[in-house]
Structures are given as C-alpha cells and as structure tokens.
Amino acid sequence: MAGTLVVDLTRALAGPQAAMMMADLGARVVKVESPGTGDDTRSWGPPFVPGSDGDEVATYFLSCNRNKESVALDLKSDDGRAVLAELVRRADVLMENFRPGTLDRLGFPPQLLSELNPRLVVLSISGFGHDGPEGGRAGYDQIAQGEAGLMSLTGSGPEDPQRVGVPIGDVLSGMYGAYGVIAALLERERTGRGQVVRTSLLASIVGVHAFQGTRWTVAKEVPRAQGNHHPSIAPYGLFHCRDGAVQIACGNEGLWRRLCDEFGLEPDGAGMATNAQRVAHRPQVIALLEKTFADLDKADLLQRLSVAGVPSGRVRTLEEVYEWDQTRSQGLLVDVEHPTLGTVQLPGPPLRFFTPDGSETTPVHHASPPLLDQHGDSIRAWLWEGDDLGKTLRRD
C-alpha cells in the first residue's frame, strides 16, 4: 500500500483497526483527532503506562494505532475543516465510524467528498448499519455481540451467555472494512472513480456465524451455547486430566480411531461408531475420555496425543502466548520506539509476505502509536508549504 494516503477520522477500535491494517501494509495513515482529548481510547484504562513527560499512556490505544501520524483538528472550526478538506483532496481513502449522519453535519457529506476528490474511497463503519429501522443506533462491541447472536453461542450453556474475551465485533468490522477498501481501490484502477464502502458491527458478526448460521437458515435448528465442545463434531473440545485440561480435535474417523488405539478404547462401541452417534452421545464420550485421562498429567497426555497423530493443544495464558517461541517465530511481536515510553513491544501484524524463491519481504520496521498531534506541524507544512518531509511516515 506504499503511496496510498489514508485519512483516518475514526476512534475507539473498529475504524482504527482498519486504518492500522492499511498502515501495516505501507499506507501513510494520518489520524485526525479531537484537540485536547484525542481518540476515546487514549483514556480507556487501566492499565496506563507512565511516560517520560509525566503523562500516562493507555495500552488500549497502543493496541490499534501503530504506524500512524496524528494531527489534532477541531472539525467545527473553519481551520479544522480547511485542513481536512485539503487532506481529502490528496487522499486515496477516508475512514470514519461516526454515528450515521455525523459527517454530514460536520459539513462533509459524501457528495462534497466526491467533489473534492472523485477518486476517494470512503470507508464508513457503523454499529447496526447506515439504514434500516435501527440504522442510527450507537454501536458498542458487547451490545453488538449480544444483538448479533454471538453471545447466545458462547458460554457454558444456554442460560450462560458470554461475551468473547476480545472486542471481536470491532476487530472484525475493521478487518472487513480494510478488505472492502482494498477491493474498492482495485476497482478504482478500472473505473477511475472512488466509492463508499459500508460495514457494521452487526454485519461483521453475522458474517462470521459460519456453520452456526446455516444451522438456522437451512436446517431451522437454533444453535445454543454448549461450552467448550463442538456442536457438530465429537470428540472435539476441552477435556480434563489430572492437572488441568487439554484440547482435542478428532475431525474425521481416522483421528478417532488413532485416539482409541493409543488409549485402548473401542472405536466401534455403542454410540461411538460414527461422528453422528458420538455427537448424539456427547456426554458419554466426554465422560469416557476424561475417565481415561484422569491419571495423566497434561504434558504426558499431550505427548501421547502428538505421537498418535491426534491434533491437540493446551490452553495458554497471554503471557505464555507471547513468550512462546512459535509466536515469536511468526513475527507476531514488534519493537517500536515510543516518544515517551521508549522501546515497547506490541502485538504485530498477522500477515507475512514472501517472494517465489522463499525470501521474506514482510516489513519489519514499524512506528509507535503517535502522541496526540505529534505530527500536526509537519502535516500542515506538507499541506500548505509543500514540505516533502511530510510525505511519508518515517519508520526507521
């Protein structure tokens, strides 16, 4: 995405996630923030980390704003609107996640954006969609998880709805938004014109219902939460042993038989011979395996499962995940130099790139999330004075 300019009017998480994905791919992302307060997530904590200037930095903000520049603009002022208009004229992409109609009230309806820059691609993320009977509702992740059915699928049982442990609706909206923007940029290469891309927390969560969605739309079966076991495959889930639990996934009959061979079980026993039978008798399958594993420690159990070729794994804490050599081998941690925190380590981009001969071309240099208005002067100099120093975000 080098050479692509993204104007990021978003805040919180869904929009900043989309803009950060573009920035990770090399786009120049100019984050427009409110003077004085900035992005909402600058105050979302604890945890906060004290900086050398005495200010505290929210780790929430650090999670979704790497590789960006920050300029503070009052979009209700003539000066703020003038700077934004000039940014729009030069931009390839504008991203916003205001409530529907807010950008219009600020004086930048889609028609004006198109007049300022006919090639502009606009990403607009909302809570529940920009139209429809509830299109104007404010969108917050946990509310969307409930309204979009995800909480009804998550938890120990139907009476125990649970939110996913990360703001998955926000993250998915950002991912779908970035995906839509790149598609619109590709189409612009053919047509010469930009367009508006819309998504929402509702759409993004419904978009990942996967097989749970078709259980209802096709089979008219209403899925319900059932804890840590797969609704359509058995055994597939979390199984307890002497000192904890492991996860096992027998995705086909061959794997089921390997499991049985390793632990001396009868694969064709009553209610066990096929996946459909095992799903129908899931409590018995769970009880049988947990009885079999009762005298085994996790490490020994995982070793035997590995030798038998049965997919399995442990449940790691985030501390364990980030210390895991496999995580580090995939480039999933990056070091950045923050203006007040010094060197900090952030979760890194999930994509890697290679040439056909196997040489890795993944970017390895990243810039820290910016201080509020950190790049305000250089951005204004670039816009009004033609200062070349503002053309690209320096990451080295």
Q: CA 56, CA 46: separation in Å to the nearest integer? A: 10
DSSP string, 193-209: ---EEEEEHHHHHHTT-
| Sequence-separated (6 or more) residues with CB below 8 Å from residue 83 | 71, 73, 379, 380, 383
CB 19 within 8 A of CB 31: yes
Q: CA 183, CA 197: separation in Å to the nearest integer? A: 9
Q: CA 22, CA 178: separation in Å to the nearest integer? A: 7
Q: CA 247, CA 267: separation in Å to the nearest integer? A: 19
> What phi and psi values does residue 248 have, to the nearest 5 degrees?
-130, 140
Radius of gyration of the chain, Cα coordinates, nearest whole angstrom: 25
Q: CA 374, CA 254: separation in Å to the nearest integer? A: 58
DSSP string, 368-393: PPPPTTTTHHHHHHHHHH--GGGSS-
Distance of CA 13 to the CA centre of its chain: 9
Which is catalytic among the residues 170, 261, 387, 396? 170
* 170 catalytic per annotation: yes
Query: HSE-up of 350 (CA within 13 Å, CB side)?
Result: 4
Catalytic machinery residues: 170
